Structure 1
């Protein structure tokens, strides 16, 4: 059941978060992506067997391509999401070394339809905003919510964002799974019982 008051509050926060992200100077974006990459590899534990779900940046999202390149160069298994329908979970396709990427809607790129699928151990999540409790404000389509609900295991959820995307508080509904950590150009913040 949808709580209309919460949805209205989230819609207002999305407008605010979009504006904050769009206002960031272009010159600072590459530096931020570089810093986020450094913080990610220094502070997020990875083992060789981990499958990492990443994303291909759209619009003015933080560019995680430097993380993707480094994961691929180290032979880490990487999956990229594909939207296959408005009410469907994301299709997580393995990006194999040397395989081409194709237009996958919304300005993203992804492996071909025949690529293998895999369930990730770590999910790098794009977002519009986050708060100090680890609540993630997405775009409102529910794709990650549906995808996480169908997984047989709970992966570590790592948000990637600019520090300017932090909001005071985001209402959290039952289906909103909190982040385990957020990585910004300012560093890494862990959430939850082990934080």
Structure 2
């Protein structure tokens, strides 16, 4: 059964990549700004919350507008770092004046000396999402391992273009659903959050 699910997910990943690659750079830039607006308009978080973002790779939603606004407002912003192939992500605090360094996979991250923090809310990159909040990732399992290792469950907010939506993505027992997804069309909250 798992092999069938993995095969189905592999096909969905291919479709999702094709859909995302078909979006023009101008559309992705404008949509990323709209996603930032919708995030701040509809997603609630406390001033003391640590919010994890990510450094965009390839044609992902650019969450940098969100991160900059959070830092400008004094929010604690953290970025994930891949520590090892089978390891959970390491979350490091990023201060606006601190340089970022290459961290593999085309991402940037704070230095090894940056403070660590557990997130209260995670902005998650993804290839696809469905109407039940199932997230289709890249298949490396980094977020799955990370979420399983955290002491408390953070709010999970996927950032995606509307074109990345599917009716159904198969969910395995280790797949933790999103609480919300933000696209250029707005915010959709899922039952996990209610």
Task: Name 1:172's counterpart in structure 2.
Answer: 171
Secondary structure in structure 1 of the residue aligned to 2:12: helix
Deviations 1:126-168 (A, max 9, x none): 0000000000000000000000000000000000000000012
Task: Name 2:55's counterpart in structure 1.
Answer: 56
Q: What is the alpha-carbon root mean square deviation over aligned residues?
A: 1.0
Task: Name 1:135's counterpart in structure 2.
Answer: 134
Deviations 1:8-54 (A, max 9, x none): 11001000000000001222111101100000000000211000010
Task: Kindly report structure 1 stretches of 4+ aligned residues shifted beyond 4 Å.
Answer: none
Question: When the two structures are superposed, what TM-score results if normalisation uses the length of structure 2?
Answer: 0.98
Secondary structure in structure 1 of the residue aligned to 2:41: helix
Task: Name 1:90's counterpart in structure 2.
Answer: 89
Q: Given that residues 180 and 193 in structure 2 are in contact (C-alpha distance below 8 angstroms), is that contact kept between their aligned partners in structure 1?
A: no
Q: Report deviation, 1:97.
A: 3.3
Deviations 1:102-140 (A, max 9, x none): 101111010000111000000000000000000000000
Secondary structure in structure 1 of the residue aligned to 2:15: helix
Structure 2 unaligned regions, length at least 5 = none
Task: Name 1:110's counterpart in structure 2.
Answer: 109
Task: Name 1:72's counterpart in structure 2.
Answer: 71
The change in CA–CA distance for 1:25 and 1:117 in structure 2 (over 3 A counts) is same
Question: When the two structures are superposed, what TM-score results if normalisation uses the length of structure 1?
Answer: 0.97
The change in CA–CA distance for 1:150 and 1:44 in structure 2 (over 3 A counts) is same
Q: Separation in 1 of the partners of 2:193 and 2:149? A: 25
Structure 1 unaligned regions, length at least 5 = none
